[in-house]
Structure 1
Amino acid sequence: MSKTESPFPEVRRVITGHTTEAAPVIIRDEITERVFTWPDNPNSVFNIYRTDQVPANNDEVQGEWKDVIADKPFGRDTMISHEGAVVIAFDYAPGASSPMHRTESLDFGIIHSGSITLTLDDGVTKTLNKGDVIVQRGTIHSWKNESDEWTRMYWVVVGAKAVEVNGQVLGEQWPKP
């Protein structure tokens, strides 16, 4: 496999809704844009869906539905909706890693293909393989694809309050640029 280009297909999203007569309809059926997140890094991300409120609003009818993701450039602020949820897919190149970080979110990660190693800030590691699911609950962590194959993960990221342990608030933490 090439280390410079993901072998996985583009991500297709199909979004349903209603007509003004309340009949079900397909609002979107399209390939999502592959977004490259870091210079000189082949990892890529697909923005699939975002809502900025829970419960979500499914009331918009065909023609009124607004794609919230299309209006925002990809970055840390679009990966998390503090009042809602985001669905994204990540392709991790062989050897690629993320920095140690903590988000104010509850993250459900599903390993679609390949494997990925989770490292917590105390050095504990856990390798997850195809079909495994991680529930990431606000710990400081990083990801690394330690294999020579690409890994694809799907994420559902739900906004959460900052973790508080014994009166200490553990807020978001990102490396300095």
Structure 2
Amino acid sequence: MSAQPLPPIRRLVTGHDTQGNAIVWKDEEIKASQAEHGPFLTRIWSSSELPPDVNTTDDLGLVDTGLANKGTICRIVDFPPKSVGMVHRSITLDYIYVLEGEVTLTLDDGSKTKVGKGNIVVQQGTMHGWDNETSNWARLLCVLISAKAPVVAGEELNAEVPFQI
């Protein structure tokens, strides 16, 4: 699949003028690029630390963060019809909001949960994957925040990412 069938995202970024007044710094359409493992990703914004520095004059939507970083990431992820994701873990707290379509949240315990338009998943450093079992595209808004590693039975769990983005 060479083209993204869902429309590009309009991204507005605010900032300040020299008098300290709020301004719209960027107002543009941004397009997705296809990730190595299948879905299309639209980078919205990121920060490399917590708390984020809001004094930057760099376009932090252009930063290649990989799956996760030590700050925050906001991206749109578009899943093609009949696609199967890879189960993975990032050491992040994720807020995943389904904007369009339906996906299946797959966990390493074998469970599969349908998540539809308007639903939100709070993902807390678990092994998970996203499948699109439908004939339609699905679009998710994903906000990832660097987190402390989960600890189970006294053992700290590590990131497990079998793909590149």
User: Aligned pair in 2 of structure 1 residues 47, 176: CA closer, same or farther (>3 Å)?
Assistant: closer
Contact 1:6 1:150 in 2 (8 A): no
The match for 2:23 is 25
Structure 1 CA distance for aligned equivalents of residues 28 and 126 of structure 2: 34
Equivalent residue in structure 1 for 2:44, among 45, 48, 66 = 48
The match for 1:67 is 59
Q: How far 1:53 sits from its partner (Å)?
A: 2.1
Alignment-derived partner of residue 58 in structure 1: 54
* TM score, norm. by length of structure 2: 0.91
Bigger Cα displacement from structure 2, 139-148 vs 50-59: 50-59
**SS in structure 2 of the partner of residue 155 of structure 1:** strand
From 9, 13, 16, the equivalent of 1:15 is: 13
Please report the TM-score for the alignment, with normalisation by the length of structure 1: 0.85
> Does residue 36 of the first structure (1) align with residue 34 of the second (2)?
yes
Q: Which runs of 5+ in 1 are unaligned?
A: none
State the one-letter code of the partner of 1:66: D
* RMSD of aligned Cα (Å): 1.9
| 1:147-166 correspondence to structure 2 within 5 Å | 147-166=134-153
Identity percentage of aligned residues:
29
C-alpha contact 1:92 1:145 (8 A) present in aligned 2: yes
Query: Could you list the runs of 5+ residues in structure 2 that have no partner in the other structure?
Result: none
Count of residue pairs the alignment pairs up = 164
